[in-house]
C-alpha cells in the first residue's frame, strides 16, 4: 500500500509527534478488566491558553478512528484536523477564548498506550496481550491527564459517537468536574445492530491470514485486506442511503459500460475501496478491534441497575444533546433516551435534532445549524457561570 | 406546539405571576420568547419543551435550555415537583389530551400557570350564532380543517376541569381583546363572555 505512511503511523504509536503525558509504575491505570495498566502514556494536543482561574478548559473526545489531532494537520496523512471547522481561533469553539485539550484514547494507536505500543514486559508490541479497554477506562485515563494539567473542572466535555459515549461517562462518573457536556450523535449504550456491524469488521480483520493472531508486526506483515474490508463496511453505516444516492447514484467509474467482471464498475465501489485503502495506512488493525470492543461494552444504564436516570442523579452539569435526522447508526431515538433520562434526573438539558441527509458522518462536517447550536449553548453557559473569558 | 400568535398579550401577565429565581418549565415554549423574558426580568432557571424543531434549534442557539418534545407524550419523564412553576401558554387547546396534560403540569410543578384563548368570548359566540361558521378571528386565524387547536374550551369549561383534577385556582385573570385585565370583581359568567384570553395560576 503506502509504506511511508504506514511506517510513520507505526512510529506515532510509540513516539508520537504530539505532547505526551507519561505515567510510571507508581501511577497505574485501573482497568475495568480487573488489572492495572502501568506504565502507560497519553498522547494529546492542546490549543489556546489556559486562563489564570483554570476555568476555560474544554476536553474534546474523539470517535472510533479519530485521534488527538482535532485542529491541526495530521502527522501521518497531512490532512486537516478532523474538527478544524468547529474548533480553532475565531471558530465556534474559539481557541482564542478556550483552552482545548484532545487526547488519543487509551487502546488507540496514535501515541497513547494501545495494542501497537511496546509492552515493557516483553519489549514487543502488546498485540492482544493488552487487556480489553472500556469507555470508562478511556475516561479514567483522561481524568489522570486533566489532573496532571492542574485542571479541577472542565468547562465542557464535547464529543461525537464514541466521543459522545466518553462525554456521557464523564458526566455520570465525574459530575462535579464537568460544567457542561455536549454528547453528539451517540447513545447511552451500543445497540445490537451496532455490535453486529462491529463484529463483521472484527471478523474481517481476524480472517486475514496476515493478522497472524494479532502478532503481525513480529511477522513483518499487516492485515491490510481485512482492515480495509472492515472500514468499507463501517463506512457505509456512517452515511445514508439518500446521501449515497445523491453522491454516487449508479454512476460508473471511468468507464462507459459495465465490464461484466468484478472490478470496481460503480463509483461507490471505487469510493469504498479508496476509503479502505487509505484507512489501513493510518490505523492499527488491533487498535480497531479494541476500539470497537470498547463501544460494544458501553452500557451506562447497566452500571446503574438498569436505570439510566440514576447515572445522572443530582447532576448540576448542563447538557446539550445533538442528533442528526439521517443518522441510522445512532438514530435520534438514542439521543431521546438520553434526554428523557436527564429530564427525569432533573438535569438542565437542551436537545437539538439537525436536519441533514449526511448520516452519522454529519457531526464531522460543516453543518451551520449544528455549529450554531454548540456555539449558542457554550456562550450561554459561559455567561451563566460568569466565566471570565478573554 | 405553541400557537404562532403575534398577539401574545398573556406573556406579561405570566411573567408577573412568577417569583424571581424560580425554577420554571415552559411547555410549548415556541421560539423561547417567554423564557428569555423570564431570564432577563426574573433571573429564573428556565427550561423549555417545544414540538417544532425550528423553534427548539433557534432557542438553543440563543442559549436557552430547550428540548424537542411533545406535551402529550414527554411530560411523563419529568419528576414530581421538579419545578416551582410549569407554564402552558396558549398550548392547552392544541394538545390531544388536555386533561392528562393539565394533570401532569400539576404533578411536575409546585404551581401551574395556564393561559388559553377563551372560546366563550362573545365574538366567537356571535360568529357561530349568526354566520353558522366556525369562527376565524384575528387571534384564532385558522380554518377548522387546518387548525392546530383541536380542543378549544371556555373559561367555565376550564374551571370545571380544574375542579375535576382537584386543582385550586390561586388566581385567574381574563384579558380583553386589547390585553387589558378585566376588573377582578366580575363573576365567571362575565369573564366567560368578555375575556378573550384567560391566565390561571393553579396548585394542587
- In the prediction, which pLDDT does B7 show? 46
Query: Which segment of A19-28, A151-160, B136-145, B155-164 scores lowest on mean pLDDT?
Result: B136-145
Contact B82 A355 (CB under 8 A): no
Which of A176, A24, A181, A155 shows the shortest CA–CA distance to A101? A155
- Vertex A255 angle, CA A254 and A257, to 5°: 155
d(CA B11, CA B35): 10
Percent of chain B predicted with pLDDT > 70: 94
CA atoms in the 13 A half-sphere facing the CB of A173 = 18
The answer, yes or no, to whether ipTM is higher than 0.90 is no
Among all chains, which residue has been given the C-alpha cell 482564542?
A96
B90 within 8 A of B25, measured Cβ to Cβ:
no
d(CA A25, CA B143): 75
A8 within 8 A of A105, measured Cβ to Cβ:
no
pLDDT in tens, B126-149: 888 888 888 787 777 888 888 888
Residue B128 belongs to a domain: yes
Mean pLDDT of A156-180: 98
d(CA B157, CA B167): 14
Mean pLDDT of A308-328: 96
What angle do helix axes A162-173 and A285-297 make, rounded to 10 degrees?
50
Can you give the residue range of the structural domain that contains B80? 10-203
Percent of chain A predicted with pLDDT > 70: 99
Nearest to B78 among A343, A353, A383 (CB): A343
How sure is the predictor about B184, in pLDDT bands with cuts at 50, 70 and 90?
low
Rounded to the nearest angstrom, the minimum Cα separation between B55 and chain A is: 10
How sure is the predictor about A80, in pLDDT bands with cuts at 50, 70 and 90?
very high
Q: How far is CA B67 from the centre of its chain?
A: 18
B11 within 8 A of B88, measured Cβ to Cβ:
no
- In the prediction, which pLDDT does A334 show? 98
On the question of pLDDT at A301 being above 70, the answer is yes
- In the prediction, which pLDDT does A2 show? 66
pLDDT in tens, A29-77: 999 999 999 999 999 999 999 999 999 999 999 999 999 999 999 999 9
On the question of pLDDT at B177 being above 80, the answer is no
d(CA A289, CA A116): 12
Q: What is the count of structural domains for chain B?
A: 1
Q: At a CB cut-off of 8 Å and minimum separation 6, what does A40 contact?
A: A22, A23, A28, A29, A106, A112, A113, A141
Residue B40 belongs to a domain: yes
pLDDT in tens, A254-279: 999 999 999 999 999 999 999 999 99
On the question of pLDDT at A1 being above 60, the answer is no
At residue A138, what are phi and psi to the nearest 5 degrees? Answer: -60, -45
Q: At a CB cut-off of 8 Å and minimum separation 6, what does B146 contact?
A: none
Q: Would you state the CATH architecture of domain A195-292?
A: Orthogonal Bundle (1.10)
Cβ contacts of B154-160, under 8 Å, gap ≥ 24: B154/B118, B154/B119, B154/B120, B154/B192, B155/B118, B155/B120, B155/B188, B155/B191, B155/B192, B155/B195, B155/B198, B156/B120, B156/B188, B156/B189, B156/B192, B157/B119, B157/B120, B158/B114, B158/B116, B158/B198, B158/B200, B159/B188
Give the residue range(s) of CATH 1.10.1740.110 domains in chain A: 195-292
Query: Which segment of A102-111, A344-353, B75-84, B128-137 scores lowest on mean pLDDT?
Result: B128-137
- In the prediction, which pLDDT does A179 show? 97
pLDDT in tens, B97-123: 999 999 999 999 999 999 988 888 888
Mutate to test the interface with B, among A315, A343, A356 (most CBs of B within 10 A): A343
d(CA A240, CA A215): 36
CATH of domain A3-190+305-384: 3.40.50.1820
- In the prediction, which pLDDT does B120 show? 80
**Active-site residue, from A67, A281, A327, A361:** A327
**Active-site residue, from A18, A55, A161, A323:** A161
- The whole-chain average pLDDT of chain A stands at 95
On the question of pLDDT at A104 being above 90, the answer is yes
On the question of pLDDT at B1 being above 60, the answer is no
Q: How far, CA to CA in Å, does A200 sit from each of A195, A225, A279, A284, A327?
A: 9, 14, 17, 17, 20
Mean pLDDT of A212-217: 96
Q: DSSP 3-state assignment of A251? A: coil
Q: How far apart are the first and last CA of chain B?
A: 25
Rounded to the nearest angstrom, the minimum Cα separation between B156 and chain A is: 34
What angle do helix axes B33-42 and B10-17 make, rounded to 10 degrees?
40
d(CA A30, CA A42): 15
Domain of B55, CATH number, reads: 3.40.50.150
Percent of chain A predicted with pLDDT > 90: 94
How sure is the predictor about A221, in pLDDT bands with cuts at 50, 70 and 90?
very high
d(CA A220, CA B159): 82
d(CA A371, CA A68): 20
How sure is the predictor about A176, in pLDDT bands with cuts at 50, 70 and 90?
very high
On the question of pLDDT at B82 being above 80, the answer is yes
Q: Pick the residue from chain B with its C-alpha nearest to A372.
A: B61
Amino acid at each position: 500500500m503506502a509504506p511511508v505512511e504506514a511506517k510513520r503511523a507505526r512510529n506515532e504509536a510509540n513516539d508520537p509527534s504530539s505532547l505526551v503525558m507519561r505515567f510510571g509504575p507508581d501511577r497505574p491505570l485501573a482497568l475495568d478488566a480487573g488489572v492495572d495498566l502501568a506504565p502507560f502514556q497519553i498522547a494529546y494536543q492542546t490549543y489556546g491558553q489556559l486562563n489564570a482561574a483554570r476555568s476555560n478548559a474544554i476536553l474534546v473526545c474523539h470517535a472510533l478512528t479519530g485521534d488527538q489531532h482535532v485542529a491541526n494537520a495530521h502527522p501521518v496523512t497531512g490532512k486537516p484536523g478532523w474538527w478544524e471547522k468547529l474548533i480553532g481561533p475565531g471558530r465556534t469553539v474559539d481557541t482564542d477564548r478556550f483552552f482545548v485539550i484532545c487526547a488519543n484514547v487509551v487502546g488507540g494507536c496514535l501515541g497513547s498506550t494501545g495494542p501497537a505500543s511496546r509492552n515493557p514486559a516483553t519489549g514487543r508490541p502488546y498485540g492482544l496481550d493488552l487487556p480489553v479497554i472500556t469507555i470508562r477506562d478511556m475516561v479514567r485515563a483522561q481524568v489522570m491527564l486533566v489532573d496532571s494539567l492542574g485542571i479541577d473542572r472542565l468547562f465542557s466535555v464535547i464529543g461525537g459517537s464514541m466521543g459522545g459515549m466518553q462525554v456521557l461517562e464523564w458526566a455520570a462518573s465525574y459530575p462535579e468536574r464537568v460544567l457542561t457536556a455536549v454528547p453528539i450523535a451517540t447513545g447511552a449504550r451500543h445497540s445490537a445492530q451496532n455490535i453486529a456491524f462491529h463484529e463483521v469488521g472484527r471478523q474481517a480483520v481476524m480472517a486475514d491470514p496476515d493478522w497472524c493472531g494479532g502478532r503481525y508486526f513480529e511477522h513483518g506483515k499487516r492485515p491490510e485486506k481485512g482492515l480495509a474490508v472492515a472500514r468499507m463496511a463501517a463506512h457505509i453505516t456512517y452515511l445514508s442511503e439518500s446521501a449515497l444516492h445523491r453522491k454516487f447514484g449508479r454512476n460508473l467509474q471511468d468507464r462507459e459500460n459495465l465490464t461484466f467482471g468484478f472490478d470496481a464498475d460503480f463509483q461507490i465501489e471505487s469510493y469504498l475501496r479508496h476509503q479502505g485503502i487509505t484507512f489501513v495506512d493510518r490505523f492499527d488493525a488491533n487498535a480497531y478491534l479494541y476500539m470497537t470492543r470498547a463501544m460494544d461494552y458501553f452500557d451506562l444504564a447497566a452500571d446503574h441497575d438498569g436505570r439510566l436516570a440514576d447515572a445522572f442523579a443530582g447532576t448540576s452539569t448542563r447538557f446539550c444533546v445533538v442528533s442528526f435526522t439521517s443518522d441510522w447508526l445512532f438514530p435520534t431515538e438514542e439521543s431521546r433516551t438520553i434526554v428523557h433520562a436527564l429530564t427525569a434526573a432533573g438535569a438542565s438539558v437542551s436537545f437539538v435534532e439537525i436536519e441533514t441527509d449526511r448520516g452519522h458522518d454529519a457531526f464531522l462536517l460543516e453543518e451551520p445549524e449544528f455549529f450554531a447550536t454548540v456555539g449558542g449553548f457554550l456562550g450561554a453557559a459561559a455567561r451563566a457561570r460568569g466565566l471570565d473569558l478573554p | 406546539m405553541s400557537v404562532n400568535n403575534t398577539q401574545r398579550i398573556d406573556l406579561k401577565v405570566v411573567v408577573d405571576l412568577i417569583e424571581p429565581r424560580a425554577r420554571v418549565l415552559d411547555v410549548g415554549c415556541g421560539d423561547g420568547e417567554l423564557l428569555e423574558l423570564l431570564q432577563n426580568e426574573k433571573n429564573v432557571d428556565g427550561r423549555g419543551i417545544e414540538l417544532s424543531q425550528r423553534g427548539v434549534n433557534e432557542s438553543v442557539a440563543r442559549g436557552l435550555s430547550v428540548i424537542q418534545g411533545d406535551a402529550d407524550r414527554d411530560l411523563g419523564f419529568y419528576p414530581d415537583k421538579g419545578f416551582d412553576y410549569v407554564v402552558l401558554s396558549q398550548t392547552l387547546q392544541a394538545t390531544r389530551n388536555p386533561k392528562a396534560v393539565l394533570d401532569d403540569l400539576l404533578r411536575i410543578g409546585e404551581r401551574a400557570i395556564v393561559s388559553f384563548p377563551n372560546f366563550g368570548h362573545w365574538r366567537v359566540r356571535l360568529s357561530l350564532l349568526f354566520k353558522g361558521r366556525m369562527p376565524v378571528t384575528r387571534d384564532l386565524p385558522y380554518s377548522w380543517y387546518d387548525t392546530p387547536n383541536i380542543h378549544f374550551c371556555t373559561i367555565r369549561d376550564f374551571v370545571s376541569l380544574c375542579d375535576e383534577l382537584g386543582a385550586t385556582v390561586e388566581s385567574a385573570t381574563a384579558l380583553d381583546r386589547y390585553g387589558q385585565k378585566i376588573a377582578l370583581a366580575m363573576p365567571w359568567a362575565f369573564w366567560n363572555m368578555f375575556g378573550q384570553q384567560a391566565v390561571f395560576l393553579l396548585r394542587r
